[in-house]
Chain A
Amino acid sequence: MSQLRTRQNVYKLGSAWADPILWYARGVQKLKERPLADRTSWTFYGGIHGIFRALWDFYGITDPNEPGPSQADTVTFIDQCQHQSFFFLPWHRGYLMAIETLIRSEIEALGGPHESWALPYWNYFGDGQNALPPEFRSPDWPDGTGDNPLFVVQRWGPMGGAQPFDIGSRTNLDPMGDPVFTGPGGGVSTGFGGPATGFNWQGGSSGGLEMNPHNIVHGLVGGGSPTDTFSDGSPLPGLMSTPTAAALDPIFYLHHCNIDRLWQSWNVFPAGKPSAAPTDWQNPNNLDWLQGPARSGERRFVMPKPDGSEWVYTPTEMQKIDALGYEYDDLTPGAAVQGMDMAARRAVLGIAAAARGGPAVAASSSEMMGASDKGLALSGKGATRTTVRTDAAVRARVSNSLAGRAATAPDRVFLNLENITGLYDAVIFEVYVGLAADADDATRQAHLAGNVSLFGVRQASDMAGRHSGGGINATLEITGIVDKLHLAGNFNVDELSVEIVPMDEIPEAAQIRIGRISLYRQFE
C-alpha cells in the first residue's frame, strides 16, 4: 500500500505553488505545446471529453487552419464523455487516470517527482476553499512570468476567481445520502450514480452526484461572457460551462478528482455505515454496467497512453482505486449530507410503525402524477411561473401513503423538467414548488426544490445528436416539500405552482425552453 500515490487537497498542500500543483502546471504546459491532432496534446485530451471546434477557434485555443484529430482518432477517442448515465463516474475515473499518467510521464521527462505525483483535488465545500485555488487565478507563474498554463480567461462564473462564493446557496452533497447507485429513472430517482443507459454523450437525466455538485460547479466556475456573443449570435459560455470545452480548463481535472473522491467516499466512508439492503453503497453488479457500453455494441471507453497507444477500460476495472494505484488524503465529503431517514420521515408524517416498508429508497415503481399543459421559454432576469396539473386518482394514492393509510412506506415525489433545450449551457436556476407569488424569504426557502445547471444542454439539443435534439431532463426530489404541503392540507389540489428563478439574466438568444414539467411518485 505504501506505493499508492495520494491525491491531496489543493488547499492543503502547505503553500501556494507547492510541488503537486507546480508539477501539474509544468506538465500541462508541455501538453499545451503539442498540436490538436497529437493524441497526447492538451487539446486532444479536451476533445476526448467533448469538442466544439468553432468555439475553440473563436476563443483562439485552436487555429482554424490547424488540422483536427484524424478520422480514425475521432471515431475512437473524441466526444466520449459520459453524462446523464450510470457510466458518468467510471468513465471519468478512467479519464482522470489517463491524464494523470500522461502528466506523470511529462514530469518524469522533466526530471520531476513522477513516482509520487498525483492530481490534487478541489473540495469547494471545505472551509475557506470556496474560491478558485490561487494558482489558477493569475496569468503569471510564481516568478512573475506570464504564461501560467493553469490560467484561463474564459472563467466568468462567481466561483471563477478569487472571490469566495456561498456554494451552499446553489448546491449540496445530499446525493451522498442516497445509498442506491442506479435509481429507476424515468421521472423518479436516478440514484447516486445515474440512470442505466448505453453510451451516452449528452442528453437525458443526470444522476444525483452528477447534478449536485458536479453540474452546478461547472456552471459556477465557467459562467458566461458578460459582453460578447458567439459567431452564431448565441451567448458565450465559459470553458467549464460546456462539456465541449470544459476539459480545456486545467481546473476541470481538480473538480473531477473531487467528484471521484466523493464516489470513493460514498462507497466506503465512514466504514461500516448503516445499510438497509445488501446493495446499499455498492456499485452496480449487473453486466450492462460492469462491461460498459461495448456490451451493447456501442463505443468502448478508450484513452491514449503516453506513447499514443490505446488503453481500453471498463467500469469493472474502475471500482477499486487502490488497485488503480492511488488514494485520497481525506474522504470526508466536506459538507453536511441530508440523507433520507425513513424513521424520521414517518415521525414527521405521524405514520405509525405498523405501516410496513423499508427505506423509501428501496421503492422502485413509478407513476406520473401530473404535468404542465404547455412548455415554457426561459429568458430575462425575473421569475417564470407556471402550474402543474395533477391527476386526482394518483394524487389520492400519494395522499393515502402520506397519511399512513397504505400498507407501504410513504411515497417519494419528484418534479421533472423535461426536454430542456437551448444554445447556452451556462444557465443555473432555482426551482420552487407550491409557492405563493407573494411568499416571504423564509417560506421561499422551504419550497426550494433545488438548483438546475444546464451543463450539456446545447449538445443535447442538436438534432443530429444522440437523442435527436430531445435535450436534457432535470429530476428534483420534492418529497420533503410535498410532506409539508400534505401536513398543511395544501397538497390535495388540482394544480401545483412551479416557479423558476435564474441566477443570472438568460439572454433571449439562448433559446432556453422546457418542453414539459411533470410530477412523478415513486412507490413500493
Chain B
Amino acid sequence: MRRTDPPRGREPGRVAAPLALLSVPAWLLLALGSGGIAVPELCSSALLWSVPSVEGLRYAFTFVAPQVLAMGWGLMVAAMMLPTLAGTLGYVRARSLGRLRGRLVALVICGYLAVWLAAGPVMLALALALHLAAPGGGQVFIAALAVALLWQVSPWKQAALNRCHRRPAIAAFAPEAYGDALRLGLGTGLWCLQSCWALMLASLLAPGWHFAAMAVVALFIWAERLEPPRPPAWRLRAPLRAWRLASFRLASVGR
C-alpha cells in the first residue's frame, strides 16, 4: 500500500527557506574564503604569540582588519547557529497571521542575530587575547576544549538548552506581535549564546582545520538541540537521539 506522509504539507520547506538562504551562502563563503575573509584564518597565524597588549592587537590587526574579523564572525554565526532556529520559526509561523508572518520571521532572525553579533567583539577579543597570551595555539585550544567540556556537563548548560526549546505565547496583531517576535528572537539568542559560547570559542581557537572544526561543532550543536529538555544537573550528555536516528536509518537502508 502506498505510504502517506503525515499532513505537514510544504510548511517544513517554508520554515527552512529563510534559514537556508542565509546559512548556505555563509557556509560557501567560509569554505571558499581564504586569507582575510574568515575569522578562523586569524587563528592559524603562528605569528600571534606575544602577550596580550594594545600593541599586540595592533600587530594582529595588520594581518586581519577588524571589519574583516566582524564579517567572519557574522558568517560563522549565520552558518553555524541559524539552522538551530528552525523550530522557533516554525512555531512563529504556526501562531501568526499570514499577512504578518514574513515580518515576524524576519524580526525573530534579527533579534537572534543581534545577540550573537553583539557577543562577537567579546568573543573575538577573548580569542585574540588568548592567542596573544600563549605561544603557538595548541595549548590554548586544548584549554578551550577543556572549558567547553566542563561547560557541556554543567547544569547551566542544560538550563540554557532547556530554555532554547521554550515557545512562549505571542501576540497576533501588530504592533504587539512585532515586539513579541523581536523579544522571542532576542531571548532565544541569549539562551543559545549561554548554551553554545564555549563551543564557539573552541572553534575560534582551533589551530588548524578551521572549516572542518566549524562543521563538526555546528553538527554537534544541531544534534544536541534534538535532545529533549532534562532537569539541570552535572551530567555527561551526548546527542544520543541523533546517533540513534542515524543508526536506525542506516539499519533501514541495509534491510
Q: Mark interface residues in A67-102 (1 if CB within 8 Å of B CB, else 0).
A: 000000000000000000010000000000000000
Q: Which of A165-173, A183-191, A232-240 contacts B (4 or more CB under 8 A)?
A: A183-191
Q: Mark interface residues in B230-255 (1 if CB within 8 Å of A CB, else 0).
A: 11100000001111111110000000
Please tell me if the beta carbons of A370 and B172 are within 8 angstroms of each other in the complex.
yes
Q: Report the separation of the CA atoms of residues A389 and B95 in the bound assembly, to the nearest whole angstrom.
A: 14
Distance in angstroms from B236 CB to nearest chain A CB is 13
Residues of A within 8 A of B208 (CB): none
Q: Which of B3-11, B113-121, B135-143 contacts A (4 or more CB under 8 A)?
A: B3-11
Q: Which of A116-124, A211-219, A462-470 contacts B (4 or more CB under 8 A)?
A: A462-470
Given A196-B6, A199-B228, A284-B6; 18 other pairs, CB 8 A cutoff: A183-B7, A187-B94, A285-B1, A285-B3, A285-B4, A286-B4, A287-B3, A297-B241, A364-B7, A367-B98, A368-B96, A389-B172, A391-B97, A391-B173, A463-B162, A464-B229, A468-B229, A516-B170
Q: Report the separation of the CA atoms of residues A93 and B206 in the bound assembly, to the nearest whole angstrom.
A: 52
Please tell me if the beta carbons of B243 and A186 are within 8 angstroms of each other in the complex.
no
Distance in angstroms from B150 CB to nearest chain A CB is 21
Please tell me if the beta carbons of A368 and B97 are within 8 angstroms of each other in the complex.
yes
Give the size category of A's interface with B.
Answer: 35 or more
Q: Report the separation of the CA atoms of residues A394 and B167 in the bound assembly, to the nearest whole angstrom.
A: 24
Asked if A242 is an interface residue, CB under 8 A from chain B, the answer is: no
Distance in angstroms from B6 CB to nearest chain A CB is 4
Residues of B within 8 A of A284 (CB): 4, 6
Please tell me if the beta carbons of B172 and A297 are within 8 angstroms of each other in the complex.
no
Asked if A244 is an interface residue, CB under 8 A from chain B, the answer is: no
Residues of B within 8 A of A147 (CB): none
Residues of A within 8 A of B95 (CB): 187, 368, 418, 516, 518
Residues of A within 8 A of B245 (CB): 296-297
Q: Mark interface residues in A376-410 (1 if CB within 8 Å of B CB, else 0).
A: 00000000000001010110000000000000000
Please tell me if the beta carbons of B6 and A182 are within 8 angstroms of each other in the complex.
yes
Residues of B within 8 A of A285 (CB): 1-4
**Chain B, 26-45, CB within 8 A of any chain A CB:** none
- Of all chain B residues, the one with the shortest Cβ separation from A368 is B97
Q: Which of B9, B172, B229 contacts A364 (CB 8 A)?
A: B9
Q: Report the separation of the CA atoms of residues A276 and B231 in the bound assembly, to the nearest whole angstrom.
A: 47
Please tell me if the beta carbons of B169 and A375 are within 8 angstroms of each other in the complex.
yes
Please tell me if the beta carbons of A468 and B163 are within 8 angstroms of each other in the complex.
yes
Residues of B within 8 A of A373 (CB): 171-173, 176
Known interface pairs A183-B7, A297-B226, A373-B173. Does A467 touch B165 (Cβ–Cβ under 8 Å)? yes
Asked if B103 is an interface residue, CB under 8 A from chain A, the answer is: no
Residues of A within 8 A of B241 (CB): 296-298
Q: Report the separation of the CA atoms of residues A467 and B228 in the bound assembly, to the nearest whole angstrom.
A: 8
Q: Mark interface residues in B149-178 (1 if CB within 8 Å of A CB, else 0).
A: 000000000000011111111111100100
Counting from the closest, the 8 A-B pairs by CB-CB distance are A297-B245, A515-B169, A196-B6, A371-B172, A468-B165, A297-B244, A516-B169, A297-B241
Residues of A within 8 A of B7 (CB): 182-185, 196, 364
- Of all chain B residues, the one with the shortest Cβ separation from A182 is B6
Known interface pairs A288-B6, A367-B98. Does A419 touch B171 (Cβ–Cβ under 8 Å)? no
Q: Report the separation of the CA atoms of residues A470 and B244 in the bound assembly, to the nearest whole angstrom.
A: 26
Interface size in chain B (residues, C-beta < 8 A): 43
Q: Report the separation of the CA atoms of residues A182 and B246 in the bound assembly, to the nearest whole angstrom.
A: 26
Residues of B within 8 A of A296 (CB): 241, 245, 248
Residues of A within 8 A of B99 (CB): 391, 393
Q: Mark interface residues in A462-492 (1 if CB within 8 Å of B CB, else 0).
A: 0111111110000000000000000000000
Interface of B is mostly: loop
Q: Mark interface residues in A110-149 (1 if CB within 8 Å of B CB, else 0).
A: 0000000000000000000000000000000000000000
Which residues does A use to contact B, with CB under 8 Å?
A: 86, 182-187, 196, 199, 279, 284-289, 294-298, 364-365, 367-368, 370-371, 373, 375, 389, 391, 393-394, 418-419, 463-470, 515-516, 518
Please tell me if the beta carbons of B244 and A294 are within 8 angstroms of each other in the complex.
yes
A-B contacts, 7 listed (Cβ < 8 Å): A186-B94, A287-B3, A297-B226, A373-B172, A394-B97, A516-B95, A516-B169
Please tell me if the beta carbons of A365 and B9 are within 8 angstroms of each other in the complex.
yes
- Of all chain B residues, the one with the shortest Cβ separation from A393 is B99
Known interface pairs A297-B241, A394-B98, A418-B169. Does A466 touch B4 (Cβ–Cβ under 8 Å)? no
Q: Which of B162, B176, B232, B246 contacts A297 (CB 8 A)?
A: B246
Q: Report the separation of the CA atoms of residues A470 and B7 in the bound assembly, to the nearest whole angstrom.
A: 23
- Of all chain A residues, the one with the shortest Cβ separation from B98 is A367
Residues of B within 8 A of A187 (CB): 94-95
Q: Which of B6, B163, B171, B240 contacts A371 (CB 8 A)?
A: B171
Distance in angstroms from A386 CB to nearest chain B CB is 13
Distance in angstroms from B175 CB to nearest chain A CB is 12
Q: Report the separation of the CA atoms of residues A370 and B172 in the bound assembly, to the nearest whole angstrom.
A: 7
Please tell me if the beta carbons of A518 and B172 are within 8 angstroms of each other in the complex.
yes
Residues of A within 8 A of B165 (CB): 466-468, 470
Please tell me if the beta carbons of A419 and B169 are within 8 angstroms of each other in the complex.
yes
Residues of A within 8 A of B230 (CB): 464
- Of all chain A residues, the one with the shortest Cβ separation from B230 is A464
Residues of B within 8 A of A389 (CB): 172-173
Please tell me if the beta carbons of A286 and B5 are within 8 angstroms of each other in the complex.
yes
**Chain B, 44-77, CB within 8 A of any chain A CB:** none
Please tell me if the beta carbons of A295 and B173 are within 8 angstroms of each other in the complex.
no
Most buried by A among B166, B230, B244: B244
Residues of A within 8 A of B6 (CB): 86, 182, 196, 284, 286, 288-289
Distance in angstroms from B158 CB to nearest chain A CB is 8
Distance in angstroms from A414 CB to nearest chain B CB is 13
Q: Report the separation of the CA atoms of residues A295 and B242 in the bound assembly, to the nearest whole angstrom.
A: 11
Q: Report the separation of the CA atoms of residues A463 and B231 in the bound assembly, to the nearest whole angstrom.
A: 8
Most buried by B among A287, A364, A463: A463
Q: Report the separation of the CA atoms of residues A364 and B230 in the bound assembly, to the nearest whole angstrom.
A: 34
Please tell me if the beta carbons of A515 and B244 are within 8 angstroms of each other in the complex.
no
- Of all chain B residues, the one with the shortest Cβ separation from A197 is B6
Residues of B within 8 A of A288 (CB): 5-6
Most buried by A among B164, B170, B247: B170
